[in-house]
Amino acid sequence: MRLATILSGGKPALAAYRGADLIDLGKAGPGLPGDILAFIAGGDAARAAIARALESAPATAVLDPERTTFLPVVPRPGKIICVGLNYADHSAESGFKQPDYPTLFGRFATSLIGHKAPLIRPSLSDQLDYEGEIAAVIGRRGKHVPKANALDHVAGYAVFNEGSVRDYQFKAPQWTVGKNFDGTGAFGPALVTADELPPGARGLRLTTRLNGETVQSASTDDMVFDVASLISIISEAITLEPGDVIVTGTPAGVGVARKPQLFMKPGDVCEVEVEGIGLLVNPIAQEAAERAAA
């Protein structure tokens, strides 16, 4: 099942794909989940109700994806845990020794945007870089989760572009600020439930394109710490809860490591595509003067 968070009637709403059609579940039938967290909490009964509603959805519930406003798949996750240096080729290009333990840092919900929304280059920097990644959305609470059943805690996967403001990222040993500028974390277009994909989303091709040119291409098999390992390791210290998001890392090809360096600028379009999960497209815009002064 593929689910998207959209704007409907000026409010966040849940939609689901029926083939190429996007169905507004608020208009498809009564009693359906209104957001991703309600879908997760509803379990098999919610999935069955949505499946039935998709079969008989009225024409008034069918949306044109090109005219739909997409929001982040989970608009305000309780936790967004990012993994740095999780592809050996990216660690090498970045000049870091491959760590033996995941490099973890947090993102905040105010950094998130949806599919087709602009990634914002801040007024303070011209070093906005792309990082194509997959995000795992947690579906079941867990602490000290054994690796053997860690994937049972995944509700599904989405595409993520972890826009990084590089000069601010490296102002200090902690990367938090450079990874959390408003409007730099694209998350979407849809949540693909785990049963639609290989276990742990393994073996999928991840491709990032900037203005149509491929700048990153790798298999998710190349992750140093796979999704099951990340869930198990993170849950040793942090209780994972439904709706939490783990952003699993980016492969080689980032702009800061190129010679000459390649950063995103206003007018550019960045696409991140993951086989079986979807295509996330975002134009680049400059931070508005009035926003910068606020």
Residues 6+ apart with CB under 8 A from 50: 1, 16, 25, 32, 33, 39
**pLDDT above 80: residue 289:** no
| Closest to 252 in 3D by CA, of 84, 99, 92, 102 | 92
Question: In the chain, helix, strand, coil percent, each to 5?
Answer: 30, 35, 35
pTM for this model (two decimals): 0.96
- For residue 141, give the amino acid letter: R
Give the model confidence (pLDDT) of 215-256 as tens digits: 999 999 999 999 999 999 999 999 999 999 999 999 999 999
Give the model confidence (pLDDT) of 110-151 as tens digits: 999 999 999 999 999 999 999 999 999 999 999 999 999 999
